[in-house]
Amino acid sequence: MCGSIGGIDIADPADFSGRRRRKDAKKVQDAAAAAEAARQARISGNVTDINTAFGGREDQYTDFVSAIRELYGADLGRQQQEAARQSKFSLARGGLTGGSAAVDAGRTLSREANEGTLTAERRAQKQLADLRGMDESARLSMISLAQSGNDIGNAASQTASALRANLEGARAAGTTEGLGDVFGRTAATYRAQQDAAARRRGLKEANLYAGPFSRGDT
């Protein structure tokens, strides 16, 4: 049996060949190897779960960009209706209905509507690209955490939470950003026509007021 003298361990005198020590050391090595293999298997499984979850995102990307297009399309339609209404009112008030000013106004409105459609698509694609970027950043971060050997819990559940948070954030960003003012030139024309009409009214009123005095009436 083993013992110690003066605090110094001595070998088991019955184990002349050292076979038992080697056997015990082998058990320790095997246990360490098994633990490392289990750790590597856990890491590999977590990484696979993470990649699988992110890889199944395409349908959600499609739904997301469709929803953003619908949102921007509704905004564009609302702005176009308001711009057309204001332009029609301004032309009628200025006595310009049916003339070249009305034709130019219609062309401007149509051109801005087409540009707005393109702007809406560009912004929808930007929102999609931003979401993809957030997802990729989250994927790499989670993989790095998994490969560090730390216990991240249920990788699939953690990934689902990250994906959900990214999607909600992207939707909020798309709603907040909006499409912006699409019909700026139409609005500028409308304001110019309103200003011109106001000036004409002012001149007419001034002439009416000045008329009796210019004739010498008292």
Give tens-digit pLDDT for 7-38. 444 455 555 566 777 877 888 888 888 877 77
Residue 218 lies in a domain: no
Instruction: Encode pLDDT of 201-211 as tens digits.
Output: 554 545 555 55
Are the C-beta atoms of residues 167 and 64 closer than 8 Å to each other? yes
127 and 173 Cβ atoms separated by less than 8 Å: yes
Distances (CA, A) of 213 to 145, 149, 202, 204, 207: 90, 97, 17, 15, 10
**Residue range of the domain that includes 149:** 17-193
**Residue 57 scores a pLDDT above 80:** yes
Q: How far apart are CA 197 and CA 202, in angstroms?
A: 9
Q: Dihedral, CA atoms, 90, 96, 102, 108, nearest 10 degrees?
A: -50
pLDDT band for 59, please (50, 70, 90 cuts): very high
132 is a domain residue? yes
Q: What is the pLDDT averaged over residues 89-99?
A: 76
Helix (H, G, I), strand (E, B) or coil at 5: strand
**Residue 61 counted as domain residue:** yes
Is residue 208 a part of any domain in this protein?
no
Does any domain span residue 113? yes
- Look at residue 52 and tell me if it is in a domain: yes
CA distance 38 to 87: 72
Number of domains in the chain: 1
The confidence band for 189, taking pLDDT boundaries of 50, 70 and 90, is low
pTM to 2 decimals?
0.66
Beta strands in 59-203 (DSSP E): none
Residue 122's Cβ-count burial label (10 Å; 0-12, 13-18, 19+) is: exposed
| SS3 state of residue 99 | coil
